[in-house]
Structure 1
Amino acid sequence: MAIASSMSGIAIQRTTAYIGELGLSGEVRPVRFIERRIKEMKKFSLKEVYISKRALKEIQNSKTIEGIKVIGIEHISEAVKRLGIT
């Protein structure tokens, strides 16, 4: 995302984070300890986080994600489009 932001000149909001493993074909894979990572992000006033859809299914009923917008994506292109880069 940093590269896409830099090349397009469109800034990523400081309150947004991206958590996941990126595959060679652009798929976003879940990472371990996602709830713990999101909990830590809240300490830094982050408001929005992009994670893999598989990870979102695992934590969607968790109290950890209350107060933060969690967006599940399957491919990096989804995050790029939401940033406004085509």
Structure 2
Amino acid sequence: MATFTSSLPDDLLEKVSSEASKLSIPKNKLIEKALRAYLDYLKRLEYAKSYRMASKDPEVLEMAEEDMGEYFKQIEENEAR
């Protein structure tokens, strides 16, 4: 594990200290969990953005519709069994 040193605003560090104390965990673990959650959030935003962009592309929409037709066909075949 690497060591990282950073400065934080006093008010934020006070909040981190307070929450870490409430949760009975070290401050660095709280910061680690918060950073992981934020990075996951950014990844989800990127996925959402890509889906919005894809929804405006006629070729992507056509491929999705074709694949959905095939998907529904497979469902009907499975239900018939």
Asked whether the two chains share a fold, i.e. TM above 0.5, the reply is: no
Structure whose residues are more often strand by fraction: 1
TM-score range normalised by the length of the shorter chain: under 0.3
TM-score, L = length of structure 1 = 0.21
Identify which of structures 1 and 2 has the higher relative contact order when contacts are C-alpha pairs closer than 8 Å and 6+ apart: 1
Structure whose residues are more often helix by fraction: 2
